[in-house]
Structure 1
Amino acid sequence: MVTSVDTAGPVVVLQARTRFEESSACTGCRELSNRVHSRYTRRLADTAIGGRPVRIELQVRRLYCENPVCPKATFAEQVDGLTVRYQRRTPLLQRLVEIAGVLLAGRGGAQLLRLLNAGLSRTSVLAQLMKMPLPTPTAPRVLGVDDFALYGRNYGTLLVDEETRLPITLWEGRDAETLRDWLLEHPGVQIACRDGSPIYRQGLTNGAPDAIQVSDRFHLWQGLSRRIQQIAAAHRDCLTAGAHEPDRRPPAGTEPQGTDSPANSPAADHAQRLFEAVHALTDTGRSYNSVARELGLNWRTVRRYATATSWQDCVRRRPRIPSPLDRYLEYLQQRWGEGEHNAKVLHEEIKAKGYLGHYQRVKMAVAPLRRGLPINQPHQRRLSPREVARWITTSPPNRTLDTVERLQRLLTHCPELDQAHTLVRAFATMFDTADSEPPTGVAQPTRDQPPTRTAQPRQSHPRGPTGRDPGHHLALQLRRQRRPHHRRQTPETTHGRPSEHPTPAPTSRPHRPLTPTSRWIEQTI
């Protein structure tokens, strides 16, 4: 019962006591007792009232336990819904602290509790979070398996319930045996989402042989993006000729030829010699690793020089930093041709047009014109295959105006990339509509056509009403899954660095046959 309420200070203090005539259950044997040993005051923090913190000063009794076989001689009475043993917060406030810790962790949870006038430090929030019991892991109907980077080259495995999007468990390492053992201990998985790694494929096949293995939206789109990047890398000449602005500079004969030109620099000479040495060895059929050991280079450097079409592609050039003056260079060139050679006047003119830079920048920009040289026009840096793949896979409404213009020039110049762009947009339409049928106008391979990779028939899974494997429908139904971090493996290869030798397929179970959707992707792209 409440005896008094003090609202004079910054904290609302409620003073209360328990009823003397009521009995209380022993915390050891649960036998009732009302024989009083002593009394003391407990101070409990409660949720705020009217934006002010609350403290409850509760006077409780210590009672004797009259059960001779009970290990406790005395015990403190507890009030249901208000007190908990060894707890200085009410259950309501304790529940609020736990929710803040689960949702926002330590620092964020402490900031939220401070706004709710229940201040706790981040370490206290984390301590309460670590005391919470973990939920019992149950086998979900749809299981997501992926890896994540711990530190350096050490990776772990993460299991996620794809229906609730909540993590289930994780462990260090990414081997098939651990995944198989977990699946055997938690049966009931019907659908398994994974990447293209054969390690997880083997673990799922051995641990859940009846589960349908599919790829989620992210891994399908990631594999397609890598394929587009390979296509763009095979057309590097088109990237240079099709995506750059037309060169407005005078012919090369009008420019001064000196030792500062890229063709005469030491870096260019080194790149040319290295390009000739690498191609002299790789053209004979030698592997990248053997060439790297002979030349004392990294195998990635050998691959970069071996796949380049000319030594100029291997020269590292410092990219030009964009300047706010770039948009006014054409106007400065025009005014200079009209006879205005005063840099101060030119600065005032472009300042009226919105230029906020200093006069010295304008003076340095028109300095080449005083010597009879062309103005330093900005040039777009050379495109990379990864950038082109990002342009093609980006949804058209999300592209910038500059990206739309440069991509249009590139697709006009290269018909192969234009065809790849058309297929990617068709594939994106299949994702958006969750339809496994190719769009109208795109050729669909028949079932009689042989797939591009070796596949053995599988007899255990039933077919749908149309004779198709139900896995390709489920891959499109699992839309917009959460994206785990650090996916560096390539499809159907080992994690990390690509292996030069193909990994043998697991012998315990034959491969799943290619679905019509996968055949269409393999044979069109």
Structure 2
Amino acid sequence: MQTDAPFWDSLVFAGIDDVDVEAVTAALGTVEVAARGRAAGSACPDCGRFSDRVHDRYLRRLKDLPLAEQGFVIRLTVRRFICGPVDCPRRTIAEPFSQLAAPHVRFTTRLNHALERVGLALAGRAGARPTAQLGFGAGRMTLLRRVMALPDPRFSTPRVLGVDDFAIRRGQTYSTVLTSVEDHRVVDVLPTREAGPLTAWLIRHPGVEISCRDRASAYTDGARRGAPDALQVADRFHLWLGLRRAVETCVAAHRDCLRNPSPSSMLPEATLGSGPPQDDTEPVGRRADRKKAAHALVHELLAQGHSRRAIARHLGWGLNTVLRWAD
């Protein structure tokens, strides 16, 4: 099926003044547009002289974003012009289409941008799966090549710098990742987790006011030498880690107090001091007394008609402990 070329010219190449549509064909779920350049000639990128002498023509096949859930392909006829000056090392000049597609690629610029966004969001295999559903299927390596071809993002020195290590190979090889704490982005990656590379980085990038790091001595020394005026603080993870360890130490020191059940009207207060013997460091006589008291306490509650689960819940013991004394 063929349709009106001027309509497709305005639809497909809107804003691209150097391309004309010659024909449009739709078949087997794919729309193909035959197009050519309309420029009179081209300037040589080496000597800068303009040429309109056509040497030959060749065909480029460019894949574009889908249209109405159909594949879209542009068959672009490209002219090659002759560069006349003898002193120019270039003999021919390929007709440029900078707005439509980069040289030597098989995707249009807009499709290439879509692949870059998918690759940045989902990477290889995970990104390749939805591209088939979106109508411009691409393999995992195609997406990864688009991501690797992107220039490194430019950044300014962060005011609050996060410093932490990560494992390239756990237990074998470690590196250091530098992040901007305020806007949550990766700034740089250092090859090791030693003080030297961190010091050198901070000297090359002055302006860090706060160094938020873990408690490694290498990072302490590197931050002190590279940014002596910066305030060093522990990061959130290590603050919580220190708090957790302090709580564990406190609980362990008072576990005998925590093991005893709270007073209740179910039993006389004198019998509530007995708990299941769990500490192997207790004197033998005291452990024996605690065993007898625990056994008597459980059987007394059973005799009162309480279930084993209710007894465990009331005393704050494990159900298996109550079952052991009950049996």
Q: Fold conserved (TM > 0.5)?
A: yes
Cα contact 1:26–1:77 (8 A) shared by 2: no
Deviation at 1:144, TM superposition (A): 0.6
Identify the residue that residue 197 of structure 1 maps to in structure 2: 216
Identify the residue that residue 280 of structure 2 maps to in structure 1: 310
Looking at structure 1, the residues matched to 261 and 74 of structure 2 have their Cα atoms a distance apart, in angstroms, of 75
Deviation at 1:37, TM superposition (A): 0.5
Which of 205, 225, 231 is the matching residue for 1:206? Answer: 225
Alpha carbons of structure 1 residues 68 and 311: separation in structure 2 relative to 1, 3 Å: farther
- Paired residues for 1:424-503 under 5 Å: none
What letter matches 1:105 in structure 2?
Answer: A
Looking at structure 2, the residues matched to 140 and 151 of structure 1 have their Cα atoms a distance apart, in angstroms, of 28
Which of 56, 64, 74 is the matching residue for 1:56? Answer: 74
What letter matches 2:33 in structure 1?
Answer: L
Q: Is 1:131 the equivalent of 2:138?
A: no
Deviation at 1:39, TM superposition (A): 0.6
SS of the residue aligned with 1:187?
Answer: coil
Looking at structure 1, the residues matched to 105 and 57 of structure 2 have their Cα atoms a distance apart, in angstroms, of 18
What letter matches 1:95 in structure 2?
Answer: H
Alpha carbons of structure 1 residues 378 and 7: separation in structure 2 relative to 1, 3 Å: farther
Identify the residue that residue 295 of structure 2 maps to in structure 1: none
Cα contact 1:139–1:188 (8 A) shared by 2: yes
Identify the residue that residue 95 of structure 1 maps to in structure 2: 113
Deviation at 1:30, TM superposition (A): 3.8
Q: Is 1:231 the equivalent of 2:242?
A: no
What letter matches 1:99 in structure 2?
Answer: R
Deviation at 1:31, TM superposition (A): 3.0
Q: Is 1:117 the equivalent of 2:87?
A: no
Looking at structure 1, the residues matched to 184 and 261 of structure 2 have their Cα atoms a distance apart, in angstroms, of 43
Looking at structure 1, the residues matched to 176 and 84 of structure 2 have their Cα atoms a distance apart, in angstroms, of 55
Deviation per residue, 1:402-448 (Å, 9 max, x gap)? xxx99x969xxxxxxxxxxxxxxxxxxxxxxxxxxxxxxxxxxxxxx
Q: Whose Rg is larger?
A: 2
Alpha carbons of structure 1 residues 97 and 218: separation in structure 2 relative to 1, 3 Å: same
Structure 1: 5+ residue runs without aligned partners? 244-262, 264-307, 313-332, 338-374, 381-404, 411-525
Deviation at 1:138, TM superposition (A): 3.6
Cα contact 1:25–1:77 (8 A) shared by 2: no
What letter matches 1:94 in structure 2?
Answer: N
Looking at structure 2, the residues matched to 31 and 241 of structure 1 have their Cα atoms a distance apart, in angstroms, of 95
Looking at structure 2, the residues matched to 137 and 215 of structure 1 have their Cα atoms a distance apart, in angstroms, of 24
Identify the residue that residue 144 of structure 1 maps to in structure 2: 162
Deviation at 1:175, TM superposition (A): 1.0
What letter matches 1:191 in structure 2?
Answer: I
Q: Is 1:106 the equivalent of 2:124?
A: yes
CA-based RMSD: 3.1
Alpha carbons of structure 1 residues 68 and 198: separation in structure 2 relative to 1, 3 Å: same
What letter matches 1:16 in structure 2?
Answer: A
What letter matches 1:23 in structure 2?
Answer: G
Looking at structure 2, the residues matched to 63 and 378 of structure 1 have their Cα atoms a distance apart, in angstroms, of 94
Q: Percent identity?
A: 40
Identify the residue that residue 84 of structure 1 maps to in structure 2: 102
Deviation at 1:9, TM superposition (A): 2.4
Looking at structure 2, the residues matched to 144 and 51 of structure 1 have their Cα atoms a distance apart, in angstroms, of 45
Looking at structure 1, the residues matched to 32 and 261 of structure 2 have their Cα atoms a distance apart, in angstroms, of 76
User: Number of residue pairs matched?
Assistant: 261
Deviation at 1:234, TM superposition (A): 2.4
Deviation at 1:242, TM superposition (A): 5.1
Looking at structure 1, the residues matched to 119 and 311 of structure 2 have their Cα atoms a distance apart, in angstroms, of 51
Alpha carbons of structure 1 residues 67 and 235: separation in structure 2 relative to 1, 3 Å: farther
Identify the residue that residue 452 of structure 1 maps to in structure 2: none
Deviation at 1:222, TM superposition (A): 2.4
Deviation at 1:232, TM superposition (A): 2.1
Cα contact 2:190–2:198 (8 A) shared by 1: no
Deviation at 1:49, TM superposition (A): 1.4
Deviation at 1:93, TM superposition (A): 0.8
Which of 176, 188, 197 is the matching residue for 1:178? Answer: 197
- Paired residues for 1:45-444 under 5 Å: 45-153=63-171, 154-238=173-257, 240-241=259-260, 310=280
Cα contact 1:26–1:65 (8 A) shared by 2: yes
Cα contact 2:58–2:79 (8 A) shared by 1: yes
Identify the residue that residue 320 of structure 2 maps to in structure 1: none
SS of the residue aligned with 1:7?
Answer: strand
Alpha carbons of structure 1 residues 194 and 70: separation in structure 2 relative to 1, 3 Å: same
SS of the residue aligned with 1:133?
Answer: coil
Cα contact 2:180–2:186 (8 A) shared by 1: yes
Looking at structure 2, the residues matched to 231 and 4 of structure 1 have their Cα atoms a distance apart, in angstroms, of 81
Q: TM-score, normalised by structure 2?
A: 0.71
Cα contact 1:47–1:92 (8 A) shared by 2: yes
Identify the residue that residue 58 of structure 2 maps to in structure 1: 40
Deviation per residue, 1:225-250 (Å, 9 max, x gap)? 1211222232343455459xxxxxxx
Deviation per residue, 1:27-73 (Å, 9 max, x gap)? 43443211101011110011111222210001110111123333221
Which one has more relative contact order, counting CA pairs under 8 Å at least 6 apart? 1
Cα contact 1:44–1:90 (8 A) shared by 2: yes
Looking at structure 1, the residues matched to 126 and 311 of structure 2 have their Cα atoms a distance apart, in angstroms, of 45
Q: TM-score, normalised by structure 1?
A: 0.46
Greater fraction strand: 2
Looking at structure 2, the residues matched to 379 and 197 of structure 1 have their Cα atoms a distance apart, in angstroms, of 48
SS of the residue aligned with 1:219?
Answer: helix
